[in-house]
Structure 1
């Protein structure tokens, strides 16, 4: 049997694009994207979207090229930190092509996953009503605008438990020992 090169294969998915932020909930999406890339023998494209301070309007009002270059360099460093946190010395087992894209997260992901053969992986994030009002949903944007399949990854159960403990600590609610037993 003759070996077939990557360019000669007829793959259903060429790239798995995933948005990264570095939050604990987002790490679930990043690991799921890596698993999907391994299964499909596709490249993993983690994308970190960035904007200048004050958004695009702020960049028009006095941020010079050196400030924008510093913002981009900070985004590149943040992407490296996130990938080191996610994978450490263990590599994801696929070709990893990190990208920093200037723009809003949803638009950056949809623009990067522009091929119908790509797979776009996004975390669903918090489902709290107040947070949905303040911050638009990247997952909803991607589902509405992407031309490729979109895989949404719900928050980790451990993340929900961590949030519950955090709320308990903020409100100074005592721990009931019965909650510790299975």
Structure 2
């Protein structure tokens, strides 16, 4: 099942969820390539929220300063990556406050595809980490693509052409 196409006849956008990890560049590049192939707009979303400790101790003004700093920093970072790898692709950037999984699943209702980066979490850390990817795979109404941030160490190098 795919998201609803916009009423103007354009294909539904590709939604790419971005976090602050180095793996985000791989996901963004993959989504850019797919957007080019489909002729789709790219919708780049970073969802964030204050940690429980921050939420408890920050005043309203401090929270607003933190929000502005996060939005400005994320937007600048995303724009820099897009300018390097996709100056020709139409992209909307959104920095939203809220839990990443539910935010992305809600936005994916109107997307043709949801793209996320995978993270390297070996062993027990994988079992205890809250996984946005797993949440999205379980609840998104459109296809979800998980892009590895880097190949595993034991993977042989790609053959040279």
What TM-score do the two structures reach when normalised by structure 1?
0.70
**Number of residues paired by the alignment?**
149
Q: 1:93 aligns with which of 75, 88, 96?
A: 88
C-alpha root-mean-square deviation of aligned residues, in Å? 2.5
* Residues 136-155 of structure 1: pairs in structure 2 closer than 5 A: 136-155=130-149
Q: 2:116 aligns with which of 115, 122, 132?
A: 122
Pick the structure with greater CA Rg.
Answer: 1
d(CA) in 1 for partners of 2:73 and 2:10? Answer: 35
Could you tell me which residue of structure 1 aligns to residue 16 of structure 2? 18
Tell me, yes or no, if the aligned pair for 2:25 and 2:149 is still in contact at 8 Å.
Answer: no
Report how far residue 142 of structure 1 moved: 0.3
d(CA) in 1 for partners of 2:107 and 2:72? Answer: 20
Could you tell me which residue of structure 1 aligns to residue 157 of structure 2? none
d(CA) in 2 for partners of 1:141 and 1:97? Answer: 23
Q: What is the DSSP-based 3-state SS (H/G/I as helix, E as strand, rest coil) of the residue aligned with 1:97?
A: strand
Report how far residue 76 of structure 1 moved: 1.2
Could you tell me which residue of structure 2 aligns to residue 9 of structure 1? 9
What TM-score do the two structures reach when normalised by structure 2?
0.78
Could you tell me which residue of structure 1 aligns to residue 71 of structure 2? 76
Bigger RCO of structures 1 and 2 (CA < 8 A, at least 6 apart): 2
d(CA) in 1 for partners of 2:48 and 2:115? Answer: 18
Could you tell me which residue of structure 1 aligns to residue 36 of structure 2? 38
Could you tell me which residue of structure 2 aligns to residue 171 of structure 1? none
Distance 1:34 1:21, change over 3 A: same
